[in-house]
A = this chain, B = another copy of it.
Amino acid sequence: MAAMDNLTPHKFQVTRAQREALNNHKGLVIWFSGLSGSGKSTIASALEQQLHLQQMHTYSLDGDNIRLGINRDLGFSTEDRTENLRRIAEIAKLFADAGIVVLASFITPTEENRNQINSIIPAEDIVHIFVNCPLEVCEKRDVKGLYAKARKGEIKNFTGIDAPFEAHQKPDITLHSHLFSVQQCVQQTLDYLHSTHKIRKS
C-alpha cells in the first residue's frame, strides 16, 4: 500500500487545452456594455441560444445571478460598482479557463471599468460589445421602471441619470439596438466571432 506520504505531491491538473479539446471550442468572454434597457441581456440570451444550438458550452453572468449571489454585499456606490465589476471579470476569467463561452451583461459605465476588466482578462480571451442605444430610447422603454424611479430620486447613482455613462472608446463590436432587431444584432456578433476565428463556424 503506497500511502500518500511516499508520493510526490505534484498536482497534475486537467489543463485548459484538455478542457477545450473536450468541448471542441475555446473558452471566451463576450462582454456586453451599455445602458440599462439597451438590450444587453436580451441580445446575450439570443446569442447564447444560437451558440448552444451549435453544441457550444456557454454560461451567462448578469445581475440576476451575480448581484443576488457573490456580490450581495455590494451596493451601487462608485467604489462598490468597481468591486462588482472586478469580481465579475475574475469569475468570467475562470469560466474562460474552464473552456466555457461566458456572456457577461453589465452596464460597465466607464472606460476605467473596461480597462480594469482588460487588466484581468487577457486580450485574446475577451470580446467587447458596446450595445449603443441612446439614453432617451432606453428611458422611454424603461422596462423595469427604473428610469422613472431614478428621475424621482428614488434610486441614487443610476447610470445615465445621476451617474455617468461613457461611450465605449474601443469596442470590438458596436450594436445599435434601437435600429436593428435582436436577431440582426446576434448575426452581426456571430459574423464578427466567425471572421476573427473567435468561434468556429458550425
Contacts and interface: CB of A to CB of B under 8 A. Distances in A.
B41 A70 contact: no
B60 A181 contact: no
Interface stretch (A16-24, A160-168, A189-197): A16-24
Interface in A30-54: 39, 41-42, 45-46, 48-49, 52
A3 B134 CA distance: 13
A155 interface: no
B70 A91 contact: yes
A95 B97 contact: no
A14 B98 contact: no
A137 interface: yes
A28 to B, nearest CB: 14
Interface stretch (A110-118, A122-130, A146-154, A172-180): A172-180
Contacts of A19: 52, 57-59
Number of this chain's copies in the complex: 2
A89 to B, nearest CB: 9
B143 A9 contact: yes
A78 interface: no
Interface in A87-142: 87, 90-91, 93-95, 97-100, 120, 133, 137, 140-141
A10 to B, nearest CB: 8
Given A42-B7, A60-B13, A69-B94, A180 B52 contact: no
A47 to B, nearest CB: 10
B7 A52 contact: no
A69 to B, nearest CB: 5
Interface of A: 1-5, 7, 9-14, 18-19, 22-23, 39, 41-42, 45-46, 48-49, 52, 55, 57-61, 65, 69-70, 86-87, 90-91, 93-95, 97-100, 120, 133, 137, 140-141, 143, 177-182, 184-185
